Amino acid sequence: MKKIKLLILIAVTGLLGSCNKFLDVVPDNIATIEYAFNLRASAEKFLFTCYSYMPANGHFNTNPGFTAADEIWYANPPMDVSTNFYNIALGLQNVSSPYGNFWSGSRGGKPLFQGIRDCNIFIENIDKVTEMDGWEKGRWKAEAKFLKAYYHFYLMRMYGPIPIIKENLPISASPEEVKVYREPVDDVVAYIVQLLDEVYEDPNLPETLGGAEQSELGRITKPIVLALKAKVLVTAASPLFNGNPEYAGLKDKRGVNLFNPVYDQKKWEVAAEACKTAIDYCHSFGYALNETKGLATYVINDTIGTQLKLRTAFTSEGNTEVIWANTNSMADVNMQRWSMGIIKTGATSGSGPKGLLAPTLKMAETFYTRNGLPITEDKSWDYDDRYGLRVSKEADRYYVELDSNTVKLHFDREPRFYASLGFDRGIWFGNWVDNYNVTKPLGFIRGRSSEISARQGISNYSITGYWIKKLVNLETAVAADGNITNNIVKYPWPEIRLSDLYLLCAEALNEVNGYTSETVGYLNAVRVRAGIPTVEDSWDGPFSKQIGYYRSKENLRKIIHQERSVELAFEGQRFWDLKRWKEAHRELNQPIRGWDITQKSANSYYRPVLLFNQHFTMKEYLWPIETKEMQTNRNLVQNVGW
């Protein structure tokens, strides 16, 4: 069986016509539907059509969370990128033509209700195929049911209450029957979980993909089902959806409350149990935090080795940490070329790194010190003088170019800082020919005005003075002339990693029990793999300003939240986390800053400059429903504030 990604073009050409009514839940072109289920081959194309609606998170233009928050910034005006989701970060979301419209499919959004409709068609008709074994029909049906659950979840996370599309309406449905209502969030979550439970219990769905099934990477397995269920339940237990008083008055035209304003502690208990179940199940099939340090041909030391196991955890295809790898959305030349900066001289190729996906100074300051503490909480780290200058010494040579005069902010930070970010004078192992040996001079960013990594023209430069090392596959090796386009090693975008699941579990357990050894056990596993001390060792150690800080539920919550922002940085997760935590109105109402990239000297370059003042309003916690949809279906009610 071919990979899904190879069949998407075929699948799209076979996509059924859309009647474009309300939520597109009435099947049209009945003759075409019947033809689609005459043969196994045509039915398989229809299944891949169901997969084709999955959001393409492996591209910066189509990942809603990637540029809609405060992690990445573009030059003004943005060039060589789509600004659909970036405009949300700029505060430009609107009701007349919403950015990222996944309700009906526009402005960067896919029509997920149409995707649900096609999943329903598949589920209702797959048994008509006569040349298939029953187990295979069952497996395909389970996959379509999973996708149906995932699309409901994706919409719920954006819009809150949504219509539940359990089955398509008959062709004879009246206009009034087609005008569906939004359903309460708790009902939507219950339906999603019901679908996922049914999929997990289906004996036809494989537990793993092995042997001949390796060609089916990207298809749904039982660990993926349990991992998604855990994420759904943690989302439902979070403050945005659990006892949120701001939405207490949101009712539909039947008078039904769409949000339960009463906080329910049991939601966290159920979420914690789901997380532990998913983790134990994944462990039983060999999933573990990645410890791979790249190819055996690399010449490394302990410092670089720690960074490499963090980098390969995200970009190395088939590593033990990635539970759900989306082969429909490959991180290809676009994501990698746009992330990387030029790190060696002689880059004359017009196909070189662009480096215009620019991490913000705020994100650089989010990473911990080498002692596993926030930069504001480490006695040994001079926070007040973090923008002062320092000359790198021998002990710094695998972090910062030796004898360089650079900003203090970039010294004595945790390994994830150096594994995730490129910065002026920062060492960059790999990703260039002859740059895989620590006994030889390694490439590094030179980002000051007129230098090789700096702005050379009207586009293709980092506006902040930072680059995303994390998203560039270690095996992508730029040629001596700087050509990256012909040397990209693609990887499937990780939708769910085990580290994500560990941190979700720690979060849920903290809300249930507060600090316990079990709660921090999952958190500490992520920290130790990252090369920093445990929570207890960091906060009770000699560098902590607040001994025992982690022992209260409120403080441990803050630690877990920061851990997620660091561990999952630049994966498009922070945007959704800030919203479900109801912290977006604080975090996304702050200035966006970078270095003064127009300057040549270190003294002048390392002055923070204001790029934008973000403004996030309470109504932006939920997406607006497009005005046209509201006018077409009078049974819909708009989200609060829109």
Among 56, 47, 143, 48, smallest CA distance to 102 is for 56
| Residue 310: Cβ-neighbour burial (10 angstroms; 0-12, 13-18, 19+) | buried
- Do β-strands 72-73 and 466-468 pair in parallel, antiparallel, or remain unpaired? unpaired
What CA–CA distance (Å, rounded) separates 170 from 167?
9
Supply the pLDDT for residue 16. 34
Residue 170 domain-assigned?
yes
Residue 102 above 70 pLDDT? Answer: yes
Lowest-pLDDT range of 19-28, 288-297, 555-564, 594-603: 19-28
Nearest to 559 by CA among 376, 311, 425: 376
Paired with 544 in beta bridges are 378
CB-based contacts of 31, cutoff 8 Å, min separation 6: none
Give the model confidence (pLDDT) of 32-53 as tens digits.
888 899 999 999 999 999 999 9
Match 């019947």 to its residue by tokens: 34
* Band (214; pLDDT cuts 50, 70, 90): low
CATH value at residue 194: 1.25.40.890
Q: How far apart are CA 234 and CA 270, in angstroms?
A: 9
**What pLDDT sits at residue 272?**
99
Contacts of 141 (CB under 8 A, 6+ apart): 122, 123, 126, 202, 204
Q: How distant, in Å, are the alpha carbons of 401, 408, 603 from that of 405?
A: 9, 9, 9
Give 400-434 pLDDT, tens digit per residue. 999 999 999 999 999 999 999 999 999 999 999 99
Go through 338-352 and write b for each residue having 16 or more CB atoms within 10 A of its CB, e for each that does not. bbbbbbbeebebebb
Q: Which two tokens stand for residue 262?
A: 């009463």
What three-state secondary structure class fits 610?
A: strand
Q: What are phi and psi of 613, to 5 degrees?
A: -100, 110
Give CA–CA dist 294/474, Å, rounded.
Answer: 7
**b/e 106-120 (16+ beta carbons within 10 angstroms → b):** bbbbbbbbbbbbbbb
Report residue 26's pLDDT band, with 50, 70 and 90 as the boundaries.
very low
* H-only helix segments in 160-221: 175-178, 185-201
Task: State the residue range of the domain holding 253.
Answer: 4-52+111-287
Q: Which tokens is 469 given? A: 């090392």
Evaluate if residue 514 carries a pLDDT over 80: yes
Mean pLDDT value of segment 618-637: 97
Q: How many domains does the chain have?
A: 1
Determine, yes or no, domain membership for 305: no
Q: Please give the residue that has the higher pLDDT: either 19 or 555.
A: 555
- Mean of the pLDDT values across residues 101-112? 98
Question: Phi/psi of residue 495, each to 5°?
Answer: -80, -40
- Which DSSP letter does residue 458 get? S
| pLDDT confidence bin for 513, thresholds 50/70/90 | very high
Q: Which of 146, 66, 117, 36 is nearest to 576 (CA)?
A: 66
Residue 64 contacts residue 572 (beta carbons within 8 Å): yes
Cβ contact 519:513 at 8 Å = yes
Q: Are the C-beta atoms of residues 578 and 587 closer than 8 Å to each other?
A: yes
The pLDDT tens digits for 118-166 are: 999 999 999 999 999 999 999 999 999 999 999 999 999 999 999 999 9
Task: Give the pLDDT confidence score for residue 30 in this predicted structure.
Answer: 53
In a domain, 292, yes or no: no
Calpha distance 100→82 (Å, rounded): 11
Tokens encoding 122: 């598949």
Give the residue from 143, 103, 130 showing the smallest Cα distance to 34. Answer: 130
* Mean per-residue pLDDT, 68-73: 98
Helix, strand, coil proportions of the chain in percent (round to 5)? 40, 10, 50
Mean pLDDT, the chain, whole residue set: 94
pLDDT tens by residue, 337-380: 999 999 999 999 999 999 999 999 999 999 999 999 999 999 99
Closest CA to 533 of 425, 373, 395: 373
**3-class secondary structure, 216:** helix
Whole-number pLDDT of residue 12: 33
Query: Confidence band (pLDDT; 50, 70, 90) for 31?
Result: low
Helix (H) or strand (E) holding 591: strand 591-594
Amino acid, res. 558: K
> Is the pLDDT at 586 greater than 70, yes or no?
yes
| Biggest alpha carbon–alpha carbon distance for the chain | 77
Burial of 232 (0-12, 13-18, 19+ CB in 10 A): buried
Residue 443 and residue 480 in contact, taking contact as beta carbons nearer than 8 Å: no
Can you tell me the distance from the alpha carbon of 437 to that of 429, in angstroms, rounded to the nearest whole number? Answer: 8
- Whether 119 is covered by a domain: the verdict is yes
141, part of any domain: yes
Q: Is the pLDDT of residue 512 over 70?
A: yes
- 533 pLDDT more than 60: yes
The pair of structure tokens assigned to 533 is: 């001390």
**Residue 485, Cβ neighbours under 10 Å: how many?**
17
Determine contact, residues 107/83, Cβ cutoff 8 Å: no
- The predicted model gives 331-340 an average pLDDT of 97
Query: CA-CA distances (angstroms) from residue 70 to 88, 260, 443, 447, 560?
Result: 11, 30, 28, 21, 19
Whether 174 is in a domain gets the answer yes
Beta bridge mates, 591: 613
Q: How far apart are CA 587 and CA 569, in angstroms?
A: 15
10 falls within a domain: yes
Residue 135 lies in a domain: yes
> Could you give the 3-state DSSP secondary structure of residue 327?
strand
From its phi and psi, is residue 605 left (phi > 0), alpha (psi between -120 and 50) or beta? alpha
**pLDDT of amino acid 29:** 52
Distance, in Å, from the CA atom of 239 to the CA atom of 241, rounded to the nearest integer, reads 5
Residue 91 CA, distance from chain mean position: 21
Identify the bridge partners of residue 127 per DSSP, sorted by sequence position: none
